């Protein structure tokens, strides 16, 4: 098959499934032309990149020069960035074909993708359920095989929780591992671009394409990028104990009463699978675990209230009510932002205001330090930590729409990892009852900073 034939087949599949799933806000018009270029390269015997001809979905809060980039918001409905995000540029340099921009909760704020200004994405396992969020479009697109891999962003779990709900692999890299240049800022000290794939190997190949220092992002790390992809060739899971000696800590607080019983038994099953592979699994306690959720929501809202001030109808965003300056700002933001975003801006502004700053923002920063310390201690004793990726499987569309606190509570498994800046891999580890064919459950593996290589190795052997 030629790259063009393959692209045609894949586009057909995308068009066939899209009416039920609604993963994409926009689909590229240049796919076949890009595939032609790959065929031409093959004909000229030129070297092909590691993603040559591969369909890649890109979350719509990551900028692309040749397609709209809305962030899931009305306020950027007509925005076409004049540049590619660094991660997108690197995908293209590796031969990847950006097939479209995927749906998300507005600016990444949400856990269901229902917070998009444009459409509701369905979970391919049961279309009456949410795909998770905020990168629900990217997760659903890989799950429905509309693309091979995709990019998402993870501020508090937005790659890992939808990966769990949709039964795909999701990787949140270490903070600074991947350039944020061209990612629309939500909470800059927590944001990171992450990867989805239907296997650990695919996910690792995508990470390898996008990781590494970038002069355009001052927080991107100069830490060396190991060859994430070489190990997929050399590891054999046929060895009897391929993970012999690996110390795994099961986080006790993540199996508490509030967690779905069927999820807990999937995770316990995954732990014994790891033992069969040669790991020693012990329980470990993170005493500050439950403090992470309120601290996260204060810090993320605070940072977002500052980051989103740029959407004022002048510098960025569609302009409404241009007769007076004040009403121009006010009307543009009133019309352009959805209710969840407004709530975050108000909460964040409050937490940062004089008189409340010490009680909220400063306190939350102190909790953040505690969380970092307790992870450090636990990762001194263990090579990786494991937990569920979410306290429940995918729930129904509409179920938590009017109960934001219940939705926030579902982020309990993931937010601590962002506060600590650590890498984490989520991969399917079981099924529970529900929907027409059962619902997937995701296992989260957390590693030390810049230890993505180990997570990918363990994940690859585990699956």
For tokens 């903070």, the residue is 175
Q: Which of residues 9-48 bind ligand GLN (CB under 6 A)?
A: none
User: Burial, 145: exposed, middle or buried (Cβ in 10 Å; 0-12, 13-18, 19+)?
Assistant: middle
Smallest separation (angstroms) from ligand GLN to the CB of 86 = 19
Least spacing, CB of residue 73 vs ligand GLN, in Å? 13
- Residue with smaller CB distance to ligand GLN, 22 or 158: 158
The region of 25-33, 103-111, 200-208, 244-252 touching ligand GLN under the rule CB under 6 A is 103-111
Hey, how many other C-beta atoms are within 10 angstroms of the C-beta on 142? Answer: 33
Give the number of other CB atoms < 10 A from CB of residue 212. 17
Catalytic residue of the set 28, 111, 158, 301 = 158
Binds ligand GLN by CB under 6 A, chosen from 22, 69, 111, 347: 111
N-terminal to C-terminal alpha carbon distance within the chain? 29
What are 406's two structure tokens?
């219940």
- Residues 182-201 touching ligand GLN, rule: CB under 6 A, are 186
In eight-state DSSP terms, residue 70 is -
- The minimum distance between CB 344 and ligand GLN, in angstroms, equals 8
Examine the residue annotation and report whether 134 is marked as an active-site residue of this protein: yes
Positive or negative, the CA dihedral 132, 125, 150, 412 is positive
Burial class (CB in 10 A: 0-12, 13-18, 19+), 163: buried
Secondary structure class of 99 (helix, strand, coil): strand
Least distance (Å) from ligand GLN to the CB of residue 157? 5
Closest residue to bound ligand GLN by CB: 158
Measured in whole angstroms, the distance separating CA 429 from the mean position of its chain's CA atoms is 18
Find the part of the chain contacting ligand GLN (CB under 6 A) among 150-158, 163-171, 217-225, 346-354: 150-158
Q: State the greatest distance between any 2 C-alpha atoms of the chain, in Å, as a whole number.
A: 74
Catalytic residue among 73, 134, 301, 387: 134
Single out the segment in contact with ligand GLN by CB under 6 A; choices: 109-117, 266-274, 284-292, 435-443: 109-117
Q: How far is the CB of 89 from ligand GLN (least distance, A)?
A: 22
Question: Judged by CB, which is closer to ligand GLN: 411, or 452?
Answer: 411
Give the ranges where 243-307 is alpha helix by DSSP (H). Answer: 261-276, 292-307
Our answer to whether residue 59 is catalytic in this structure is yes
State both tokens at 418.
């962002």
Q: Judged by CB under 6 A, which of 69, 103, 116, 158 binds ligand GLN?
A: 158
Give the number of residues in contact with ligand GLN, rule: CB under 6 A.
Answer: 14
Residues 328-357 that bind ligand GLN (CB under 6 A): none
Nearest-angstrom CA–CA distance, 284 and 106 = 36
Q: Does 108 interact with ligand GLN (rule: CB under 6 A)?
A: yes
Strands 55-59, 149-153: pairing is parallel
Binders of ligand GLN in range 388-427 (CB under 6 A): 411
User: Of these, 63, 109, 147, 397, which contacts ligand GLN (CB under 6 A)?
Assistant: 109
Angle at 201 between CA 393 and CA 113, to 5 degrees: 35
CB < 8 Å & 24+ apart, contacts of 366-373: 367/288, 367/291, 367/292, 367/294, 367/295, 367/419, 368/295, 368/299, 368/419, 370/288, 370/291, 371/286, 371/288, 371/289, 371/291, 371/292, 371/295, 371/416, 371/419, 371/420, 372/419, 372/420, 372/421
Q: Which of 71, 157, 170, 197 binds ligand GLN (CB under 6 A)?
A: 157
Beta carbon of residue 305, minimum distance to ligand GLN (angstroms, whole number):
13
CB of residue 308 vs ligand GLN: minimum separation in angstroms?
Answer: 13
Q: How far is the CB of 58 from ligand GLN (least distance, A)?
A: 15
Instruction: Verify whether residue 302 is a known catalytic residue.
Output: no
Of the pair 138, 155, the CB lying nearest ligand GLN is at 155
DSSP 3-state assignment of 316?
coil
| 112 interacts with ligand GLN by CB under 6 A | no
Alpha carbons 161 and 140: distance in angstroms, whole number:
12
Contact between 73 and ligand GLN by CB under 6 A: the answer reads no
Residues that bind ligand GLN (CB under 6 A): 108-111, 134, 153-158, 186, 300, 411
| Residues taking part in catalysis | 59, 134, 158
């Amino acid at each position: 098959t030629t790259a063009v034939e393959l692209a045609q087949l894949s586009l057909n599949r995308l068009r066939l499934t899209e009416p039920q799933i609604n993963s994409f806000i926009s689909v590229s018009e240049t796919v076949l032309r890009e595939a032609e270029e790959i065929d031409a390269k093959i004909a000229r015997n030129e070297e092909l990149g590691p993603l040559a001809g591969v369909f890649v979905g890109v979350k719509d809060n990551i900028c692309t020069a040749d397609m709209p980039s809305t962030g899931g918001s009305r306020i950027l409905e007509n925005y076409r960035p004049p540049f590619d995000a660094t991660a997108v540029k690197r995908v293209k340099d590796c031969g990847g074909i950006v097939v479209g921009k995927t749906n998300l909760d507005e600016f990444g704020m949400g856990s269901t993708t229902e917070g998009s200004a444009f459409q509701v994405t369905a979970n391919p396992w049961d279309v009456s359920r949410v795909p998770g969020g905020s990168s629900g479009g990217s997760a659903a697109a890989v799950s429905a095989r509309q693309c091979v891999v995709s990019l998402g962003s993870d501020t508090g779990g937005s790659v890992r929780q939808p990966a769990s709900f949709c039964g795909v692999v999701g990787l949140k890299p270490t903070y600074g591992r991947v350039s944020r240049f061209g990612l629309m800022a939500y909470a800059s000290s927590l944001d990171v671009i992450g990867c989805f794939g239907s296997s650990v190997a695919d996910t690792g190949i995508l990470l390898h394409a996008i990781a590494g220092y970038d002069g355009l992002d001052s927080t991107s790390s100069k830490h060396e990028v190991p060859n994430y992809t070489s190990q997929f060739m050399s590891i054999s899971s046929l060895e009897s104990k391929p993970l012999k000696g690996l110390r795994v800590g099961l986080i006790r607080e993540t199996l508490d009463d509030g967690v779905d019983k069927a999820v807990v038994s999937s995770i316990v099953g995954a732990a014994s699978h790891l033992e069969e592979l040669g790991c020693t699994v012990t329980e470990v306690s993170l005493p500050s675990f439950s403090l992470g959720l309120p601290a996260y929501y204060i810090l993320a809202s605070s940072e977002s209230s500052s980051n989103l001030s740029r959407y004022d109808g002048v510098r960025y965003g569609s302009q409404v009510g241009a007769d007076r300056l004040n009403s121009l700002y006010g009307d543009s933001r009133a019309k352009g932002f959805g209710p969840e975003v407004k709530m975050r801006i108000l909460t964040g502004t409050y937490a940062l205001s004089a008189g409340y700053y010490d009680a909220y923002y400063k306190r939350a920063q102190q909790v953040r330090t505690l969380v970092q310390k307790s992870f450090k201690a636990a990762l001194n004793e263990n090579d990786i930590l494991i937990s569920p990726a979410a306290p429940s499987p995918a729930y129904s569309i509409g179920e938590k729409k009017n109960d934001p606190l219940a939705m926030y509570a579902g982020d309990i498994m993931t937010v601590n990892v962002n506060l600590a800046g650590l890498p984490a891999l989520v991969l399917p580890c079981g099924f529970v009852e529900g929907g027409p064919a059962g619902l997937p459950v995701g296992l989260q593996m957390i590693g030390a900073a810049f230890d993505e290589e180990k997570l990918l190795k363990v994940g690859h052997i585990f699956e």
